[in-house]
Amino acid sequence: MAKLKFDTLDNEIQQKAIRFRRDNGFSNTEPIRLKSLLLKCNVLTVFRKLSDDFSGMAIKMDQDRFMMVNQEHNLGKQHFTIAHELYHLFVQDNFVSQSCKTGRFDKKNIEEYKADMFAAYLLLPQDGLTLNIPSNELSVRDTIRLETVLKVEQYYSISRRALLQRLKNLDIISNITYDRYKIDVRRSATAYGYQVDLYNPGNAGLVIGDYGVKAHQLFEDEKISESHYLELMRTIGYDPSEQPPENE
């Protein structure tokens, strides 16, 4: 009964991920440019150094949406966290705020489980996986090659563990293959000629959205003082007093 319950739940989440893709102009095969999507959806997103077990957080107040992502995690993990937080911000009913440890697929926390499943379906659509994995590797369990795994994770800019979890859920691999491919990720990418940026931290201090615009507008409307405006801007690494003069 429990398996049937979660199978039904997973199918519902998959349909919501497909709808979210469609509503935002993406087919069910192509990779998502997440930074562009965050701008389109008006999600103010900041990347900051957080503790290792803290993936990110999301806050929704009326029509305003905010997201924080751990810049210390590798880029693939960050992408999964972003997709996870998009579930909270756009799909979950009556959402206000949540601090998250993403990628655990913990069925004891139903909303976090649904957010993880949504992220997996959003970033790794089944039609896209079918298109990018040779038919002979799809038809026989545990025959998918490492070079195929690398190609797919690079194409969809996703972490190795997230991809392996998705393949396991689709019964393309078992725990044996999962355990074999989850190790030596950077080394395997280098051996096959791929760049390793996806497997390293990044986006340090990055801000996506109109944070600066809103802060400047508050100052222009005299709702905050100049010192408060400068304090707000320094939190995102910008100090006008330290900027070099423009060439005349």
Question: Encoding tokens for residue 79?
Answer: 């992408």
Residue 248's pLDDT is 47
Distance CA 161, CA 190 (A): 17
Query: In angstroms, rounded to a whole number, what is the distance separating the alpha carbons of residues 213 and 15?
Result: 36
4, pLDDT greater than 80: no
For the chain, the C-alpha Rg in angstroms (whole number) is 20
For residue 205, is pLDDT > 80? yes
Amino acid identity for residue 95 in this structure: F
The answer to which of 82-86, 106-110, 139-143, 213-217 has the lowest mean pLDDT is: 213-217
- Residue type for position 187: R
Give yes or no for residue 244 having a pLDDT over 90. Answer: no
pLDDT in tens, 17-35: 999 999 999 999 999 999 9
Cα–Cα distance between 14 and 100 in angstroms, integer? 20
**pTM greater than 0.85:** yes
Q: Are 120 and 81 in contact (CB under 8 A)?
A: no
What are the distances in angstroms from CA 21 to CA 12, 46, 173? 14, 23, 26
Write out pLDDT tens, residues 59-77.
Answer: 998 888 989 999 999 999 9
Phi first, then psi, for residue 209 (nearest 5°) are: 125, -170
Tens digits of residue pLDDT in 104-158: 999 999 999 999 999 999 999 999 999 999 999 999 999 999 999 999 999 999 9
CA-to-CA separations, 118 to 16, 52, 111, 134, 175, in angstroms, rounded: 8, 22, 10, 25, 22
pLDDT at 2 > cutoff 80: no
Residue 220, CB-side half-sphere exposure with 13 Å CA sphere: 6
* Domain layout of the chain by residue ranges: 2-199, 211-242
When pLDDT is averaged across residues 208-217 and rounded to a whole number, the result is 78
